[in-house]
Chains A and B, each alone.
Chain A
Amino acid sequence: MKPSKTWVIVVAVIVVLVGIRMSIGQGMARAYVQRVDQSVEVKANEAHGASTEKWTEWHPVAPKKFEAAQKADPSQTKFAFSWANTIGLWLAAFFTLAIFSFLYRDNPGYRLAEAVIIGVSAAYWGVIGFWDTLVPKLFGALTPTLVHDQVLPSLPAPTTGQVVAMYFALALGLMLLMRLAPKGGWISLWPIAFIIGVTAGLKIVSHVESDLVAQTVATFDPLVQPVVGTEGGWMLWPTIWASLANILLVIGVLCCLTYFFFSVEHKGVAGRAARVGIMYLMITFGAAFGFTVMGRVALLAARIEFLFDDWLWLIDPAGKRIVEVASAVGSMLCWW
């Protein structure tokens, strides 16, 4: 069967099922908002006199609230149906399904989602970088008054050190941008060289301090770990078990270190030690793998819950709606 044909069928099936679902019970995938009237007293200062600022915000709210309010007073204006968020909800559902479809095969839906996410997220991080780094740090230091008067009134005034550092940063940045100039692009290697050098220098300190020394000292475990009982003397079995654990630990660390030796061929004693080391590493990896499965499944569960709960309204674990979910599902099963 040609891929295109397959996808037409798949999409058609989904559309039909969704159509059925929409016609059952309270339908599905609608978003509501709540009106929030903001009113803030502004104290007078040299720039402006005292005043009261009023504006309206719309915050997302559970369908239950809307339904309740409607029951109470059909003409209420506090809660409203939100086209924007409803469309968003359907969009989110589409993207979710599109990404999952990649598991079957690459397809137009996935490529669309891929194209969207590249564009959106690249810009997203650009914006974050601008508002969270450039504005408070760079502009906050170079043009404090502007930032203070327009964006962050409570940003503390920059110190001389910060100002100097930021001019330096600006210089590096401009060198980097020389890459776009017709000539002299080679100078963009300088800031990169600076960054690489700095990273190398700083990481030596942090790694030796917090990893090499700390982990070495942490391995100073007694091979005999006395477990003292309530009445004083050593308790035999607990002591043995605790000691065994320590012995295994120390052996493991030493053998794994042997595995990492580069100038020694893995032969003879070193070879045997290295082999034990590999075994420890394998156990380590197996355990890590096992643990990770949990997390990954949780993530998948969250996405499927989104589809079932927010979109299809099949389940309602958070009690967002009034509709009796079970009955809705029941009637849906009847349809099939």
Chain B
Amino acid sequence: MSKFITILEGLDRRWIFLAMAISVAGPILYIGITGKTLPETPTPAARAVYKEIEALSPGTPVLIAFDFDPASGGELTPMATSLVHQCAARGLRMVFIALWPLGPQLIDETIKRVILADYPNLKEGIDYVNVGFQSGNEAVMKVMLTDFALAFPITKNGVAVGDVVALKGIQRASDFPLLVEVCAGYPGAKEWIQYVISSSGGKIKMVTGCTGVQTPGLYPYYPVQLNGLLGAIKGAAEYESLVNSSLAPKDSTAAIPAKYLEAQRRMGPQLGAHLLMIALIILGNIAFFAQRKSKVRATS
């Protein structure tokens, strides 16, 4: 036992790294080959996101902001996918914008993955439009409040927003009943709340999907300023299962396309890694207490 303790105390962190690698890679291989995923029980915050979108009637314009970059894709792409999936299935008018320079590519990828693949009847520029990136962070948000066309003069394809059918009747941010935000940092949900939601006088509702690191910082705003919140891959998985179960035809037993299971797949490695972390914390404390006891013995 004491030998074990001494090993723990002098443990080279690279062993921890190795353990982490295994506990993540293992489940990925297993799930990847067997295709089995873990069940999810949605928390209220995730259900709220689903409800808010479901509450909109088809044809309603919804503002979808992709404020992240590929670096956070692992966490946020699944959310983006299922959010757009539900909006498309609901037949909402999707207006995509980005305040992060790399956002527009991600928007196009998501459009390719979901809309072009599964909703070919939706027309670019009519049912959805990628307005693209604008630099200026909060400044852009403030301008949007009074004049959308001023904040985003041209779409990603270089068309003047005035000529876009999907933007008909959109004069200012408050013409969108719902803002769907996917963010990885600054500018992100916090800024949207501060500059748009709080000054729109309750005209705009907002649901957001964010990285795990932001989730605690956003809880103070939920559910008042923030109507729904998807926290990290867990939130993504919960929401994903909600969307899949609601969109899957009741009678058919057809398998859900893999791209709509991304988050739930990723929960496997999550479990592995979390259990490892928990084990590490316990071991760390065993080592600590053993150490202290030996110290006490030494002093007495």
Answer whether A and B touch in the complex at a CB cut-off of 8 Å: yes
Chain B window 257-279, contacts with chain A (Cβ cutoff 8 Å), 1 for yes, 0 for no:
11101100110011001100100
Are A288 and B213 neighbours in the complex by a CB distance under 8 Å?
yes
The smallest C-beta distance from B74 to any residue of chain A, in angstroms, reads 3
Interface residues on B, range: 35 or more
Which of B101, B232, B261 is the one whose CB lies under 8 Å from A295? B232
Do A210 and B158 touch across chains, with their CB atoms under 8 A apart? no
Contact B32 A298 (CB under 8 A): no
* A5 contacts the other chain (CB 8 A): no
Q: A103-B17, A294-B232, A301-B74 are in contact. Are A154 and B213 (CB under 8 A)?
A: no
- Cβ of B48 under 8 Å from chain A: no
Given the contacts A133-B135, A301-B74, A154 and B198 also touching, CB distance less than 8 Å: no
Count A-side interface residues using an 8 Å CB cutoff.
47
Within the assembled complex, what's the spacing in Å between the Cα atoms of A282 and B233?
Answer: 24
Please choose the segment from A23-31, A227-235, A271-279, A316-324 that sits at the chain B interface, where 4 or more of its residues have CB less than 8 A away: A316-324
Interface of A is mostly: helix
Q: Does B290 contact A (CB under 8 A)?
A: no
Is A304 at the interface (CB under 8 A from chain B)?
yes
Q: Decide if A325 touches B273 in the complex (CB within 8 Å).
A: no
- Taking a contact as CB atoms under 8 Å apart, the answer to whether A294 and B258 are in contact is no
A280 contacts the other chain (Cβ, under 8 Å)? Answer: no
**What's the nearest-Cβ distance from chain B to residue A225, in Å?**
15
Given A291-B212, A293-B277: A314 and B32 within 8 A (CB)? Answer: yes
Q: Which residue of A lies closest to B263 (CB)?
A: A298
Contact B216 A156 (CB under 8 A): no
B101 surroundings in chain A (CB, below 8 A): 128, 132
Interface residues of A in 35-69 (CB under 8 A from B): none
A298 adjacent to B233 (CB under 8 Å): yes
Residue contact A103 to B28, C-beta cutoff 8 Å: no
CB-CB contacts below 8 Å: B40-84 with A: 71-75
Complex interface bits, A280-321 against B, C-beta within 8 A gives 1, otherwise 0 = 000010011001111111111111110011000011111100
- With A154-B159, A295-B211 as given contacts, are A317 and B266 in contact (CB-CB < 8 Å)? no
Q: Which of B24, B32, B211 contacts A300 (CB 8 A)?
A: B24
Which of B17, B35, B232, B257 is in CB contact (< 8 Å) with A298?
A: B232
A269 to B104, CA, bound (A): 54
Q: Is B148 an interface residue (CB 8 A)?
A: no
In the assembly, what is the distance between CA of A129 and CA of B192, in Å? Answer: 24
Q: Is the CB of A305 within 8 A of B28?
A: yes
A331 in the interface (beta carbon within 8 A): no
Contact B194 A153 (CB under 8 A): no
Residues of A within 8 A of B159 (CB): 154
List chain B residues, Cβ under 8 A from A309: 32
Bound CA span A139–B169, Å: 31
The B-contacting residues of A in range 211-240, CB under 8 angstroms, are 211, 214-215, 218
12 residue pairs bridging A and B, Cβ less than 8 Å apart: A103-B14, A214-B198, A218-B224, A291-B213, A293-B274, A295-B75, A295-B232, A295-B233, A301-B269, A319-B258, A325-B33, A329-B33
Supply 15 further A-B pairs (C-beta < 8 A) apart from A300-B20, A329-B29: A154-B158, A214-B194, A218-B224, A294-B75, A294-B212, A295-B211, A297-B273, A297-B274, A298-B212, A299-B72, A301-B24, A302-B74, A304-B24, A304-B28, A308-B25
- Interface residues of B, Cβ cutoff 8 Å to A: 14, 17, 20-21, 24-25, 28-29, 31-33, 35, 71-75, 101, 133, 135, 138, 153-154, 158-160, 194-195, 198, 211-213, 215-217, 220, 224, 231-234, 257-259, 261-262, 265-266, 269-270, 273-274, 277
